[in-house]
Chains A and B, each alone.
Chain A
Amino acid sequence: MSVKQISVFIENKKGALAEVTKFMAEHDINLKALSIADTQDFGILRVITDKPERARDVLRDAGYTAVATSVLAVAIEDKPGSMAAVLSVLNNADVMVEYTYAFMSSAPGKAYMIFRVDNNDKATKALLENDIKITVLE
């Protein structure tokens, strides 16, 4: 199952991240996970939130460059080797991972990984066939 991630194109400069997270806070958008890709000029802020569609719409209305992207949220055991196992399955299924990041779950012993891949359906099928749980986030 995929989840919607919101990506915001921001400047790589002091205060830019503070500004956009403050904006989201003011619009009651709770951030469950967050990652940033940065280059010299710009950053891409990626967040998992409880209200992705609304988050995208309010950001765009305020003039931000924002998109919603389908990513995979994968629950894995919090122990050595779990990440390697997931990546190995994806690799064997010829799925290309664009990026990935982690966030801790409140469930003990579990971690959630977010994957942006080139083919969600292919990745989901491969992971399910290998008994790796693909989670819908509540």
Chain B
Amino acid sequence: MSNYYQAEVETLPTEELKKIQSEKLVKLVKHVYDNVEYYRKKMDEKGIKPEDVKSVNDLHKLPFLTKADLRDAYPYGLLAKPLTDCVRIQSTSGTTGKRVVVFYTQHDIEIWEQCCARAIMAVGGTKEDVVQVCYGYGLFTGGAGLHGGSHKVGSLTLPMSSGNTERQIQFMMDLGSTIICCTPSYAAYIGETLKEMGYTPDDNKLKAGIFGAEPWTEEMRRDIENSLGIKAYDIYGLTEMCGPGVSFECTEQTGMHINEDFFIPEIIDPDTGEVLPEGSKGELVFTTLDKEAFPLLRYRTRDICVLSRKKCSCGRTFIKMTKPMGRSDDMLIIRGVNVFPSQIETVLLEQGYSPNYRIEVDRANNNDTLDVYVELTSEQFSDTVKDVSIKEKQLAEAVKTMLGIKPNMHLVPPKSIARSEGKAVRVVDKRKLHD
């Protein structure tokens, strides 16, 4: 009775799944050792040979990969296939500084779209559905992933991309969209706009929404469900793995099934790197199994969560992960964009400002706000309000060029940034993102 895209895989008994994972892992480790110098060096440094990895039980022997490795190896250092076999790149949201560029072969696109197709069918999607994709299209993986998944399911796909809310609503009403895919904050915004326009939740044909790319709470889920008259489902992913679809919620709404035939999850202690038993809270680490162009072994996501293989009423046997409960680094996700405070600091220093700043993130009307407070020193101060405003605008633009999102920039007197124990408090996240 459950709705599967690939029932035979999605309901595999765990032992069989482990067998498949082991076979794929052994092959992959040998392939990257033989073909990717970066991996060979890392494995040699740890004294690990491909022969040491005989099954998934040996996974813990392999070295971790971090975002720093991806930057070191930028752009081609981790490529495991000739560039001529690659057909696509996608990139993380930051435009400079911490850029990550990921390559896909035809096969990689195929498995990514399968992941998203599974996610759409897990929420009840079929070829009868009209799927409105209002994730951004472009380098960001949101649009492309759900778009491809929707095609695979055979649904009628509306490639709306993000923004232009009135047009979104017009298409939704006129073409009878039944499934909507976007960030949760954008879904909440569409809900509010519908209400302002005088629509009730019964006026649209939507039945489900697939929301991801940023943290959201159970409270937001209920708000979105009420305002749009739908069931709201979570989807998880990261560009480094493929994009959205690494894991997805089913109708039970109690966590996201990880596509374990493509990705092996582990939970580690972020401080020691030690692998923790199922049910422990820790940092999520992924190993890709099927990716050709950009396979990643033991990639540290920095997301903190818990894994559980408790039997699910939907019949899927894939392990479930909770919504990320936080980060083991200082990355913020603001309007779906990955933001590191250090990126903002880089812009400030480049523009000749002091490194004394405070970043405040909040959420107003279900939309993230980003305020940056920077000390204005005597050297840059020129006495008129107009000049201060111009400087604020220029800085906001410079940050936008770096991050892709524009902050509210505030130049402030030196002593006004709160310090705790003499050290400036750099980041204040006032959002209550985790229940």
Contact = CB atoms under 8 A, between A and B. Distances in A.
B414 interface: yes
Contacts of A69: 382-383
Interface residues of B, number: 19
Interface stretch (A7-15, A26-34, A83-91, A130-138): A7-15
B337 interface: no
A41 B378 contact: no
A44 interface: yes
A7 B385 contact: no
B385 A9 contact: no
Is the interface on chain A under 10, 10 to 19, 20 to 34, or 35 or more residues? 20 to 34
Contacts of B385: 37, 39, 44
Given A65-B376, A66-B378, A67-B378, A46 B413 contact: no
Nearest to A38: B385
Contacts of B74: none
Contact of A7 (B383, B412, B416): B383
Interface in B361-395: 375-378, 381-386, 388-389
A65 B381 contact: yes
Contact of B381 (A7, A16, A98, A116): A7
Given A9-B381, A60-B378, A98 B386 contact: yes
Nearest to B415: A63
A42 interface: yes
A101 interface: no
By secondary structure, the B interface counts as mixed
Nearest to B416: A11
Nearest to A62: B415
Contacts of A116: 383-384
Nearest to A13: B416
Contacts of A41: 410, 412
Contacts of A63: 414-415
A67 B382 contact: yes
A37 B376 CA distance: 16
B386 A67 contact: no
A42 B412 contact: yes
A7 B416 CA distance: 17
A77 to B, nearest CB: 28
B383 A65 contact: no
Interface string B36-74: 000000000000000000000000000000000000000
B277 to A, nearest CB: 50
Q: Which of A63, A65, A66 has the most CB of B within 10 A?
A: A65
Given A42-B388, A98-B386, A67 B381 contact: yes
A71 to B, nearest CB: 9
Contacts of A37: 384-385
B412 A67 contact: no
Given A42-B388, A98-B386, A10 B381 contact: no
Given A7-B383, A39-B385, 14 more contacts: A7-B381, A9-B381, A9-B388, A39-B388, A42-B412, A65-B375, A65-B377, A65-B378, A65-B381, A65-B414, A66-B378, A69-B382, A69-B383, A116-B383
20 contacts: A7-B381, A9-B376, A9-B411, A11-B416, A13-B416, A39-B388, A39-B389, A41-B410, A41-B412, A42-B388, A42-B410, A42-B413, A44-B383, A64-B414, A65-B375, A65-B377, A65-B381, A67-B378, A67-B382, A98-B386
